[in-house]
Amino acid sequence: MGIKHKTRARSLWVINYFTACGFIELLPWVGSGYDMERFGILAKGSPRHADVLIIAGYVTKKALPRIKRIYEQMPSPKYVLALGSCPMTGGMYWDSYSTIKRIDKYIPVDVWVTGCPPKPENIGHGLVMLMKKIENGFEGH
């Protein structure tokens, strides 16, 4: 695809909002061991600077409106990565009265990474999959 998609794929900025336990396996990516900056991925504090929203783990009913609000504040094109079994199916908390069972009922998700929590390698694989998807012309939301 064109230069636009190639450059977009190499400068994914991630919003610094890690909802739950999935964040603990994302943090090795910040450190020197895995080093996400070599892929052009950078953690950002403001949603208005970010391209990627990472749903790291279970989402509670109380957190959902905040996640939606952050998602709405992000400029297009934007991408969503969901980590862990909980945002997909409810996972361990399938019968909990306080968590959301399927996050894609509320916001669109581009890449799912399974695990409880997923290993750093799997998260990296998910991020690279998203980059490939964008390089192949995926326009985001």
Partner 1 sequence: MNSEELKPGFQGSTPRALLENATISVKKEELRKVLSQLKDAGFDHLSDVTCVDYPDEREFEILYHLWSHAKKCRKVVKIRLPRESPSIESVSNIWEGAQIHEREICELFGVNFEEHPDPSPLFLEDWKEIPPLRKDFDTREYVKREYYDESSSEQKEGGCFLLPFGPQHPASGHFRALIDCAGEEVTGLMLYPGYLHRGIEKLMEYRTHEQNAMLVDRICVLEPYSYELGYANVAEKIAGVEAPERAKFIRTIMTELGRILSHITWIGMMSFALGFESANRIAWGDREKIIRLIEIASGGRIYPCHFVPGGVRRDFPEGFEEKISRVLNHLQKKLVFYDDLFFKNATVIKRTEGVGVLDAKKAVELGTTGPNLRASGVKSDIRKDEPYEAYPEVDFEIVTQTKGDSYARVLCRRGEIAESISIIKQLLEKIPKGETRKQLPRKIPKRDARFCLEAARGEACFYMVGNETDKPYRVKVRGPSFSHTLMTFSYLAKGAQVADIPAIYWSLDPCPSDMDR
Binding positions for partner 1, rule: CB under 8 A: 15-21, 24-25, 27-28, 30-33, 43, 45, 47, 58, 60-66, 68-70, 90, 92-102, 105-106, 116-117, 119
CB of 135 to partner 1, least distance (A): 29
Q: Which residues contact 27 (CB under 8 A, 6 or more apart)?
A: none
Strands 52-56, 42-44: pairing kind: unpaired
Cβ nearer to partner 1, comparing 4 with 61: 61
CB of 128 to partner 1, least distance (A): 20
43-38-67 Cα angle (round to 5): 25
CB of 6 to partner 1, least distance (A): 29
d(CA 41, CA 8): 11
d(CA 28, CA 65): 28
Q: What is the DSSP letter of 78?
A: -
Cβ nearer to partner 1, comparing 65 with 137: 65
Cβ nearer to partner 1, comparing 96 with 114: 96
CB of 77 to partner 1, least distance (A): 21
